[in-house]
Each structure stands twice: as C-alpha cells, then as structure tokens.
Structure 1
Amino acid sequence: MNQGQYLKLTKSLIDNFKEIQLIEIENNLDSSTNLKSNNQLLSLFLSAKQVEGCSKRTITYYKSTINKMFDSIKKRLDNITTDDLRQYLQNFKKERNSSKITIDNIRRIFSSFFSWLEDEDYILKNPVRRIHRIKQGRVVKEVLTDENLEILRDNCSEIRDLAIIELLMSTGIRVGELVNLNIENINFNERECVVFGKGESERIVYFDARTKIHLIQYLKSRDDENNALFVSFNRPHRRLGIKGVETFLRKLGKKSNISRVYPHKFRRTMATLAIDKGMPIEQVQKLLGHAQIDTTMRYAMVNQSNIKISHRKYIG
C-alpha cells in the first residue's frame, strides 16, 4: 500500500468509526525499527533543506534540535500530537531557563519539519499548526559607539585583527561571509567585494578608504600562498574560521573593557549608523543581504536625539 492509499484508508476509517468510543493506548517507540523510521524521515528532511540552499551550520542546528525532541518524545512521528510538542517546549524552557527567542526558534524548526512531513504525505496533519508564534517584547540591542570603535582599534596588536574590525564595520557583512572571502573577491580600485550570503546568494558590498589601507597592509605582511583573505597566525596559515573571529573579538573586548564584543554587533552598528545618517532603508536592506525589509528594521535602532530634532523641525 502506497502513501496515498494509506491516507484514503485512514480517512475512510475515521468516517466509519466516528461514533465509536476509542481508548487511547500509548504508542511509545520501543523498537529500533520505529526509531530508524523517524531518523530516516529526518534525514530526508535535512536533504531537502540542503537542496533549498540552507548552510551546513543551519542543517546541523536543525538536526540537533529535532533529535533532542526525538529523545524526549518517544513516539512515531505520525503519532506525535500538539500537546506532546507543547509539553516538550514548556519542559525545555523550564529545565534550561531558555529565553522566548530560543523557544520560538525551536517552534519554527518543528513547524518547518512537520509542515514538510505533511506536504510529503508522511503525516495527516501538522501538529505545530496550532502552536502560535511566541510573542517577544522588543528589546533595543546595544551598538558600538564611536568611542568604543576607537578603543578597539587602539587595542588591536595585529594588523590582521584591525583589518577584520574595519571590514566588519564598513560593510556590515556576516561573520560567515567574512571568513569565506578570498583575496580574489576584493576589488581595491572600486573598494568593493563580492560576498556569498545565505542560500548562496551573491551580492556586492563596499568598504571605506581606511579599510582599504589596512587590508593592503595586512596582505603585504603575509608570506603564505593561501587564497583566503584572512588566515590563522600559526603555520600552515589555514583559513580563519568563525570561532577564530569570535574568540579574538571576545578577548579584544575584555582587553578594551567593552562588554559583549562579537561579530554581529558590528553588523547592527553599521545598519543603525547608515539609517541614522539618512540612507534609505531599502539600500541598507541590499547591503545587508536581507530578503525581507522587516528583518532590516529589526537590526536598526534610530538615534533618539535625532527623533527629538526631527520632531522640533517638523512638528514644532
């Protein structure tokens, strides 16, 4: 019996036995066969996400999140209910003291997974459909001030680190985009570079004269043949990874006595500064590589003093 015939039979049985009282029996996953079936479906789902262009990091996060759910809810996928998932999310939040953002991220992953199962006819109905988006209060996130940036620059002991800071700040690129850059992607004459964003989308970003000078100085200081734009200090000078960038920024933040210095903070600072100085939000969206303009608005924080000046100018 194929999946379509199975669905027709199931619907027919539901119609014929709707007047009969049923006693619920727990359907736990005790056999390795059922566990393998769940894992096979997860593998198929992750393959579909790879085809859609999701990054390896996203695929790993999806797999880890769903496997944790499998470990807790020991049922076949077609028997998992909305109440099962609600209880799981509640327990997860309580046990780990997770934020609303974290829980909603998990809910979105479940929604994507079970929607795919429904679309592919592996289940009759998506149990996440009735679990609504978790409301979150809008928090104004910190950005780096001009003073912060100057202190960070002064505390950079390596020209590579200074070049990284300047490139992050002037382009607003993601850390994953930064570490994937090759020397050939940089056009010094036009002060621009090609980056590959989420879903392997390609876009051009621009950097300032200060960044150009530091990049040229850094490249001249290197004696390796690696085509990566940024490499490790130790031989054989491999391509610098995301963790390497995050680690050096965290240490630089502590050295500079500036709290929470991480790559994404430069991206948010750049977006905020651009909008604050009057750049149209649509152009900021293009620079950041956002598919939706609402995402860009969440990154930007308009300067309150400018709002006050504008109010006096236009309202009185």
Structure 2
Amino acid sequence: MKKRTCSAPVPETRFFSKTNEFFEVYLARQVLASIHTIRSYRAGLSVFFDYVTTVKGFTPKNFLFSDCTFNLVLGFLQTMKETLHYAPGTVNSRLAALRSYLEYVADDNIEVMSVYIAVLKVPTVNVPKEIRPIVKPESLRLLLDAPENTKIGNRDRFVMTLLYDSGIRVGELQSITLGDITARSGNWMILINGKGRKQRTIVLSDKASRHMDAYMKAWHSGNNDPSRPLLYTVIHNNISPMSTRNIERILKKYGDMMRSEHIDIPETVYPHMLRRTRATNLYQQGVPIEQVSALLGHSMIETTRSYYASPSLEQMRAAIQKGIGPEPDDCKQEWIGSVDEIKKKLGLK
C-alpha cells in the first residue's frame, strides 16, 4: 500500500497567511502609509474574509490564493453592491485593498502573480462624478471678514485664512508646531507633514503672513517651545492641538452667520472646501496644474486634475477656440449650386 500523505495546504499558499505582514511591515514601515490608508485596507480585507468564509463557505485555513479567482472576486463585488449596499466608491476601495495585498504577495511569490493579474481584470464600479462645491470669491471675502476684531475673532479669521491660503488638509493644520514655522523676508514658511509621512514646505502669501504675525503675537508671545501646537486649546491647564471638531465649528459658525447676507455661501462650509476652493482658483487663474498639485501635496497630478482642477468658462471657451482652424477662402463656394454641382465640387461625381 502507498503511504498516505497529508493534504493540508502549505502555509504559504493560504490566502490570509500574509495579512499581518502586509499591514504591520509593508504598509506601516516600508510604505509609511497613513493610519487612514491602513485602516481602509484592513477594512477591505476584513470584508473579503467575511465573504469567503460566510458566503462561499471556506475556512480561513483552507482558502488558498488559487481559490481567489476572477469569478469569485466578481461575486464579492456583487455582494457588496446588492447585499451590503455599499456605495460605488466604497466597493472600489475594498477592491483596491484586495489588489494591493495580492500585488504585495506576488512580488515575493511568482505563483500568486497569475491570481493578481486575474483580479486586476475585475472591473471597478462606475462612480458618478460629483460636482463638489467651492466658495465663490465674494462669499469668501464675506466669510473672512465675518469674525469680530477680538482675540478669538482674529484667531478664527487666521484659521480660515491659513486653510485657504495654504490649501492644507485639516489634519495637516492640526499637526503644525512652532518648530515647523520660520519667517524669512517678511513671509512665513511652514513645514507640512502630509499623508504617508511625506513632507513639503509652503510659503504663505503677504496677506496670510500678516495674519500669522498678528496671531503669533497674540497667542504665542514669548513662547519658543518647538513642540507647542500652532493652533491649540487649553483644558485643565493642558495645551493640546485644536481638534478637528473645533476647526469645523469655526467654519460652520461664520458660514451660517453670513449666509443670510449672501445666499451663494454653501449650506455647510468645512475645511476641505477651502482647500478645494484654493486649488480651483489657482488653476482657473492659470497656475500650472503641476504647481497646484505640489501645493496640495498630491503624489499624482491626476488626483489634482480629477478632484480639484475645474476649468472656468473662459478656459473652456479658449480651449474650444484653439480647436477651430481658419475657414478656407473658398469654403462657402463648395455649398453653392445644384446637388449635382455640389457633388462634383466634393469629388462625389
């Protein structure tokens, strides 16, 4: 008799054998992905885990990379759409997490490459492009002029001015410390710690720099501790960075206050809207898309082009005019005469 061999899967072929390494080593230490990216990818693979174990009936131990077929992943997308009722963007985000994980494993295991390629062929869900609101110039002026000329009012004006002028994310604003800012030739420079721990330096405009001067004098006079948050709140004598909720509350307060005077102010004004407004204004004023992308801290220009760069009517009109060539002198003559004559002129007879 032949000796029976163990048919248990080799550990390396088990689909979920590399997930901890993917999160804790690759994303966290090698790619330096943000906690938001790691959280999103973890959620994506967790939903996929639930699908293969609950819907498809696999055990975590017996689900192999070879079981992750095109049709299985297609069914995964269908379940997210029809059973879990996920929005199209969420479905695509979960698929992106799965693809990223397979790409990571395939880089070290050639046998997984065919699985990765098959999953790449799974079509993403069409996401309707939403026209995201921006603050119009007159509304922006009213918004920035709304705070009273008090210590708190000037701080609120500085917060809104800084968000707009720099185009930074609210999380980036919260992380700025006194050690990140320097004044040179009358303008302030800020070291921004962006997504994925990528750093960039921005220079404030003359107007924003004057607001920074006043803010520093009122809120940081005589304090040079480099670890002190630029924007802070004091609770029980403890200084901590201003929370996202407080920053959002500032914008909402003045948006609600001025909306009665200017109906063009969006229903809700929030930090990212000022970032989008700044990017759109720069692009429409003729600033190259590459420079706008650098200001925003995007690693891919296509992100800037897709979500922030909306052309103005003047830009669209100019683009159309560029595509219209000069009309030939004898153009109109081709259409004069009988049908037979016109056909002859056009080489049709």
Fold similarity call, TM over 0.5: yes
Deviations 1:107-129 (A, max 9, x none): 11111112223334397323622
AA aligned to 2:100 is S
The 5 Å alignment of 1:1-316 reads 38=16, 41-47=18-24, 48-51=26-29, 52-74=31-53, 75=58, 76=60, 77-78=63-64, 79-95=67-83, 97-121=85-109, 124=112, 125-126=115-116, 128-156=119-147, 158=152, 159-188=154-183, 189-222=186-219, 227-232=228-233, 234=235, 235-257=237-259, 258-298=266-306, 299-308=308-317
Identity of aligned residues (%): 25
Distance 2:45 2:256 in 1: 35
The answer (yes or no) to whether the contact 1:152–1:256 under 8 Å persists in 2 is yes
Structure 1 residues 241 and 123: CA distance shift in structure 2, 3 A: farther
Show the counterpart of 1:26.
none
Residue 65 of structure 1 and its aligned partner are, at CA, apart by 2.8
Report the CA distance shift for 1:290/1:118 in structure 2 as closer, same or farther (over 3 A). same
Count of equivalent residues: 285
Partner Cα separation in structure 2 for residue 85 and residue 250 of structure 1: 42
> Tell me, which stretches of 5 or more residues in structure 2 are unaligned?
1-8, 260-265, 327-349
Question: Mean alpha-carbon deviation: is it higher for 78-87 or for 186-195?
Answer: 78-87
277-286 vs 184-193, which moves further = 184-193
Alpha-carbon displacement from aligned partner over 1:162-185 (angstroms, at most 9, x marks no partner): 212111111112222211111222
d(CA) in 1 for partners of 2:32, 2:248 = 25
Taking the aligned partners of 1:94 and 1:156, their CA distance within structure 2 comes to 48
Separation (CA, whole Å) in 1 of partners of 2:98 and 2:215: 45
What is the root-mean-square deviation in Å for CA atoms of aligned residues? 3.2
User: In terms of mean alpha carbon deviation, does 100-109 or 156-165 score higher?
Assistant: 156-165
Q: What is the letter of the counterpart of residue 141 of structure 2? A: E
Q: Deviations over 1:204-224 (max 9, x none)?
A: 112223322322333333368
Task: Tell me the distance in 2 between the aligned counterparts of 1:111 and 1:93.
Answer: 18
Moved more, 305-314 or 228-237: 305-314
1:250 CA drift (Å)? 4.1
- 1:301 Cα deviation after fit: 0.6
- Cα distance in 2 for partners of 1:230, 1:199 equals 22
Change in Cα spacing, 1:190 to 1:64, as seen in structure 2 (3 Å) is same
Structure with higher Rg: it is 2
| CA deviation after TM superposition for structure 1 residue 86, in Å | 2.6
CA distance in 2, matches of 1:314, 1:119: 45
Q: How far does residue 310 in structure 1 lie from its aligned partner after superposition?
A: 6.6
Contact persistence 1:140–1:301 (CA under 8 A):
no
Partner SS state of residue 249, structure 1: helix
- Which secondary structure does the structure 2 equivalent of 1:191 belong to? strand
Q: 2:317 is paired with a residue of what secondary structure?
A: helix
- So what's the TM-score if we normalise by structure 2? 0.70
CA positional deviation for 1:279: 1.2
C-alpha distance in 2 between matches for 1:213 and 1:84: 59
C-alpha displacement of 1:96 = 5.3
User: What's the CA shift for 1:148?
Assistant: 2.4
Measured after TM superposition, the shift of residue 243 of structure 1 is: 4.3
The CA deviation at 1:70 is 1.9
How many angstroms apart in 1 are the aligned matches of 2:81 and 2:252? 27
Cα distance, 1:137 vs structure 2: 4.1
Deviation at 1:152, TM superposition (A): 2.4
Question: Which runs of 5 or more residues in structure 1 are unaligned?
Answer: 11-33
Deviation at 1:255, TM superposition (A): 4.2
Distance 1:106 1:243, change over 3 A: farther
> What's the secondary structure of 2:36's corresponding residue?
helix
Letter in 2 for 1:66: L
Distance 1:133 1:89 in 2: 9
